Amino acid sequence: MGTPLRLEPRATRVGDAPALTPGYAVLAAHNFPGGRVTALGIERAIEHVEEAIMAAGPLPGAGGPLALQDMAVASLFEAIAPGEATLDLDAVERAFSALADHAQGSVVAGRQVPTDIASAARLVWLRELLHHGRYSGLSLG
């Protein structure tokens, strides 16, 4: 099953740990002004998420998977890997790379992942949680 993960507008919740802020909507609003995903915005979003994760200390369930608990993230998951029930770090990295390529002007990359600011913020959260929280992957919970 995995450690429950909810990406909410104002906070991110990992298991029973205290809420991590900012949530995806706040992250998107502060880093993607004008509703446009940019390379600089992605870098700033990464910094904000890394700071939140590092400030939280050890997160529950490290080493195992994160179980996605909300439909919006499940939709993002489906867009990244149609028909899959789990995603490993490499799959999330490929999706993130496509988002970064889109931010730098690639039209083709924009067809591989959702490129709206909310999806971009969620993807930043997922990638950074897998890296810094040391989770093995994502599952549809």
| Residue 54 belongs to domain with CATH number | 3.30.420.150
- The C-alpha atoms of residue 96 and residue 93 are separated, in whole angstroms, by 5
Report the predicted TM-score, pTM, of the whole model to 2 decimal places: 0.93
Classify residue 127: in a domain, yes or no: yes
Residue 109 — very low, low, confident or very high, per pLDDT cuts 50/70/90? low
Helices (H), the chain: 24-31, 39-56, 71-80, 89-103, 117-132
Q: What tens digit of pLDDT does each residue of 31-64 get?
A: 999 999 999 999 999 999 999 999 999 999 999 9
For residue 105, what are the domain limits? 3-134
Q: What tens digit of pLDDT does each residue of 60-91 get?
A: 999 999 998 877 887 887 888 888 888 889 98
Residue 112 — very low, low, confident or very high, per pLDDT cuts 50/70/90? confident
Classify residue 50: in a domain, yes or no: yes
Classify residue 140: in a domain, yes or no: no
Classify residue 139: in a domain, yes or no: no
The H or E element that residue 86 is part of is strand 86-88
Q: Please, which residues have CB within 8 angstroms of residue 106's CB and are 6 or more apart in sequence? A: none
CB atoms closer than 10 angstroms to residue 16: 9
Classify residue 12: in a domain, yes or no: yes
Classify residue 102: in a domain, yes or no: yes
Task: Give the count of domains, the chain.
Answer: 1
Burial 113-125 (b: 16+ CB within 10 A, else e): bbbebbbbbbbbb
> Which is nearest to 91 in space by CA: 112, 63, 68?
112
